[in-house]
Structure 1
Amino acid sequence: MTKKEDNTATDDAVLQMFLDLTNDDGCEIDLTLNIYGVVVAGTLVGPQAYYEGIVDATKNIQNKTLSQILHKKFSDLQNAYIKEMQELKEKDKNEFVASYIHLKNATYLVNQNQNSPSNGMWWRGKIDSIDGISFKL
Structure 2
Amino acid sequence: MSNEEQEINLKQDWYLENLVYVANAGVEIGITLSIKGTIVSGTLIPNYRYFEILSEQFNALGNELGKSLSGAADKYVDEFRQDKNKDLDEIQVGYIHLNDAKYYTPNGNFPQDSMLWRGKIEEVDGFTIGSLSERTNRG
The question of a shared fold, defined as TM-score above 0.5 by the shorter chain, is answered with yes
Conserved? CA contact 2:21–2:88, under 8 Å: no
Amino acid at match of 2:97: H
* Partner residue in 1 for 2:137: none
Match runs of 1:1-137 below 5 Å = 8=9, 10-13=12-15, 15-24=16-25, 26-61=26-61, 63-82=62-81, 85=83, 89=86, 94-111=89-106, 114-117=108-111, 119-136=113-130
Conserved? CA contact 2:28–2:44, under 8 Å: yes
The two structures have a TM-score, normalised by structure 1, of 0.73
The two structures have a TM-score, normalised by structure 2, of 0.72
Q: CA deviation at 1:127?
A: 0.5
Q: CA deviation at 1:29?
A: 0.9
SS of structure 1 residue aligned to 2:13 = coil
Conserved? CA contact 1:102–1:125, under 8 Å: yes
Amino acid at match of 1:98: V
Q: CA deviation at 1:72?
A: 1.6
Conserved? CA contact 2:48–2:78, under 8 Å: no
Q: CA deviation at 1:44?
A: 0.3
SS of structure 2 residue aligned to 1:27 = coil
SS of structure 2 residue aligned to 1:78 = helix
Q: CA deviation at 1:59?
A: 2.8
Q: CA deviation at 1:128?
A: 0.8
**Unaligned segments of structure 2, at least 5 residues:** 135-139
Superposition misfits of 4+ residues, deviation over 6 angstroms: none
Amino acid at match of 1:27: V
- Aligned-pair identity in percent equals 31
Q: Deviations over 1:108-137 (max 9, x none)?
A: 11347x421252211111111100112239
